[in-house]
Structures are given as structure tokens and as C-alpha cells.
Amino acid sequence: MLLTLITFRIAYIHLAFHKKAVDLAQAQHSVRIELEPTRGSILDRNMRKLALNLKVDSVYAVARDVKKKKEAARLLAPILFKDESFLYERLSRDKLFVWLARKISPEKAAKVKALNLAGIHLIDETKRFYPAAGLASQVIGFAGIDNTGLEGIESYYDRYMHGKAGYKTIGRDAKGREIHAFEGAYIPPVNGYNIVLTLDEVIQHIAEKALRRAYDKHKAKAGVALVMDPYTGDILALAVLPSFDLNHFNCATDDAKRNRALSDYYEPGSIFKIITASACLDTDKVSIEDSFFCENGAWYVAGHTLHDHRGHGDMTFKEVIEKSSNIGTVKAAMRLGEKDLYEYIKAYGFGVTTGIGLPGEIKGIVRPLNQWSKYSITAIPIGQEVGVTPIQLIASLSAIANGGQLMKPRIVDSIIDSKGEIIKKYEPVIVRRVTSEQTSRQIREIMKGVIEQGTGTRARLDRFAAGGKTGTAQKVGPSGRYSHRDYIASFVGFAPMERPVVAVCVMVDTPRKGYFGGTVSGPVFKEICDATLRYLDVEQEAAVYEA
């Protein structure tokens, strides 16, 4: 009877309990350790590394092997900067593998190794490192402790950079001690791909330095500076302030992490007049020499009084834009008509996202035509009642600079493997033709006049002729009324004049000690263009400015 019972018990264990028993035995005699893949790097257009992984040590314990747990916790606590009770709790777990600290410095690793504590081991992992610290911080973003992207490029292209984890199996004897001769399973990790950006690290430094100077000088709340190749849509620099150190992103505020070039919209103010002007000229509703009476600075229209910063009488349409007359611009827009104005605003890409390939982009505000009030035709042409993002502005400016074609902004050039082989290529994309080349040329001439004798003289370059437009927009306060203290000071422009190499957009939010776009942001444009064109070794034009 006893033999029969034992036989049935053996049969039960073999048939019904087999898998569980095998799994239990494997768990007792082997430990599976995940092998982290190396995350792909982020490179600028010249293959300079902006984000990479470095090998570091992590500390784990085979808890059953640690005999004097309290003493081990006491010795490790000051080295790992961990609470002694936390370490003791972990060491007291009935497990073969317990993390104590992840991705520690080489100095800490050396001290842990020197203790030579039974059951305490080091294992290789990788840690994300950003050589340029805070450079392009909102663009690059950051990855967490597990090398998963959390913001910016790190997040948006995480599926390409993350790679695939591997593992290895460590054998243990009946007492849980490692068997060094044991050859367990080993599956190597598959490393991630590298992301090549359109950013140029040097131009990014130039833009951030110039923006920082104005940001500090005018005690501003925030600032944005964008540099774009108008013919390809390549973003050469995207600077946002305030910024943060990517190597210490846990210390950064949410405000500093926000990419204002994509996620914030503003009323553009007078910058928007170049959109209105191009629509007027492209439809032949207005010619560049048409004369407009600017009412000596005050005009009662649509139930309110429209003002100019400075009173003007009769001016040509060219002078209206150069001198940034609100009255002259609105009169031209009324000749154009609401429908045509709305269609050109949409054609320039306002009211929709650009699809640049970064998280957090918003579409701004462009109300449909049936929601315009009788006042709208006096506000929208001069940059009120619309909300635009800096990335939309730089794209529309580039369409004027390149001859009338709207280009899709491009922040990633390609995805490559560790050998440099291209996995995916992002080619320049023409969204649509917005205006004729003739209209584009006329607007560029007007913008040249803005810098030569208009509101943007402080943006005048040292070696090149350039075109630009100033913008000074009142911010809307909590009451819904325009503030008389808080402004957005902006400047957009391109250089050189004949064949633009760069288009630049500068926006400074709530500056103090001066608030006009030409005064605050114009010098930033000049500094960026002068340094960038010198860096790119662009040949100086024979005649810079007209006598």
C-alpha cells in the first residue's frame, strides 16, 4: 500500500506539478539578469554628440548571501547616499537579486568594491550623459533612469533609440553561492539607433548666447530664438529661455522644460503685417506704390479709434510697412477683403501644426471666417486676434525669403545605426506655394527698407544687407484687456539679401527696460546673423547697403 501511494505521488508530481517544480528549481539555482541595451546617441548635423551613454556600475545584492545585514547597510549608506533603514529592508528580503543603487559614479563603485562585502556585487549598466549640459535642452529632452525617453527628441524618437534588452543567467549552488564554471543562457542586447538632428551645435551656441544677453539685460520672463534654412526647412538653432541642465533634469522646473517655440502661442503684432502685405500684393489688390493716408496717427473705424505709434500722413504701401503703420495696413487689408486675407493666413500655415517632429506642438488660434466680428478686419491684419507659435512664424518667414514656398520645418535629418548606415532619411518637404516669386521679391525689398530706414535699424548687419520686420504686441491680461505694461517684443528677418542663407525669429516675452521689438529683439537678430554668416563663411556681397 505504501509503495502504491508513493508511486501515485511520484506520478502526480511528474504530471501535475512538473512545470512548477522545474520553475522553482531554476529560480533556486539560477538568476536571470537583464542586460540593458546601449541607447542611441543624439548628434548634430556635423555628427557632434549632444547625448550619449556612458558605462557605469550599479549595485545589487544576493540577499541570502549577506550575513551581517545591519552592518552591511551601515557601511553602504554613506557611500550610496541611501538611508540605512532602506538598505536594511532590501537586504532582509528573501531574494537572490535585489537592486541597492543604480548607475553610481566610478568613485562610489570603487568604495563599494573596497568593502568586499559577501553578497554585494557590481554590474555594468549605462547612464545618459549630455556633454553640452543645457544646450538645446528643450529640443533634446532627457531620458530617465531606465533609459526611456521622457521629453523632447528623447521621447519622440524613443522607439528608435531605446534598443532591445538582452539577459544572462547566473548559476547558484544549493546555498545560493555563484557557480563560476556555470555557463548559463546569454542573449546580447540590441543597441538603439542614433538620431542626427538638423541643429548645428555652433549656431545653437550663437543663438543661445545672443538671446541670453537680451534676456538678462531686459529682465525678461522668457525668450525664443530660431534659425532656419529657408530653402530646406532645416532648423539650425532653436533656443528657449529659461533653460536647464539636462544632466540634472530632476532639478528643473516645468516652466524651464517647456518648449515655448512649439507649445506657446502669442499675438504676433506688427510682424503679421508682412503676411497682410504679401496677400495684398499677390492678389494685385494693392501695388507697392499705392498711396494711403494714415490719418496723422488716429483713425476712428469700426466703433473704435485705431492708433499709430507715430503720426503719418500720405505714404506709399512700401512706406506703410517700413514705418509699421497700423492705419495704412488696415486700409490696405480692407481693399484686400476678409476672405482673401483669411485664405492667405491659412496658406502660410497658421492655425495648424507644422509637423516638425517634436512633442507638445500646438496649432495656435486662427478663427474661421464666420466667427470674425466687424472689428476683426481692423485687428487681424496688424497681428491681433490671432495666436501664432514661433515655429509657425519662422516657417512663414522662410516662405517669403525663399521665393514663396512654404517648407515643412525639419529638426531630424536622419536615423543611422552604429556603423553610420542610414536607417531612415527625412527629406525636405515643400508644403505648398504661397505667393509668386515676384510678390516674395517685393516683400523682401520692403523688409530691407525696414532695416535701412524703418523701425528695425538696430538690426542692421555689419557685412550684409538683410530684411526684417519688427513686432511689439501688447499681452492680454487676466481681465481680458490688453496690458499697458506687458509686451511681446519680436523681430523676424533673413540674410543675406540676394539669396538668404538663414531666416531668424526672435521673441522676448515681457521685457523690462524697453519693450519695442526693434530695440529688444533687433540686436539679437543682428548678433545671430553676423556670427552665423561668419561661421558659415558666406561670401560678402559687393554692395551691402544703398548709399
Contact present, 474 and 320 (Cβ < 8 Å): no
d(CA 458, CA 88) in angstroms, rounded, equals 65
d(CA 312, CA 516) in angstroms, rounded, equals 19
SS3 400: helix
DSSP 449-487: HHHHHSTTGGG--SSS--EEEEEEEEEE-TTSSEEEEEE
Give the up-direction half-sphere exposure of residue 424: CA atoms within 13 A in the CB hemisphere: 10
SS3 515: coil
SS3 249: helix
Contact present, 197 and 153 (Cβ < 8 Å): yes
Q: Is 344 exposed, middle or buried (0-12, 13-18, 19+ CB in 10 A)?
A: buried
Q: Which grid coordinates are listed for 463?
A: 557685412
d(CA 324, CA 455) in angstroms, rounded, equals 7
H helices of 296-389, in order, are 317-322, 326-336, 338-347, 376-379
Residues 6+ away with beta carbon under 8 Å from 218: 489, 508, 511, 512, 513, 514, 515, 520
Q: Which grid coordinates are listed for 61?
A: 545584492
How many residues can be counted in the chain?
Answer: 547
**CA nearest neighbour of 218 among 493, 484, 524, 544:** 524
d(CA 409, CA 428) in angstroms, rounded, equals 8
3-state secondary structure 178-226: ECCCCCCCEECCECCCEEEECCCHHHHHHHHHHHHHHHHHCCCCEEEEE
H helices of 242-368, in order, are 254-257, 260-263, 273-282, 317-322, 326-336, 338-347
Q: Is 263 a catalytic residue?
A: no
Set 270, 324, 490, 521: catalytic member: 270
**CA nearest neighbour of 469 among 225, 270, 279:** 270
- Phi, psi torsion values for 461, nearest 5 degrees: -80, 165
List beta partners, residue 430.
407
The residues that are catalytic are 270
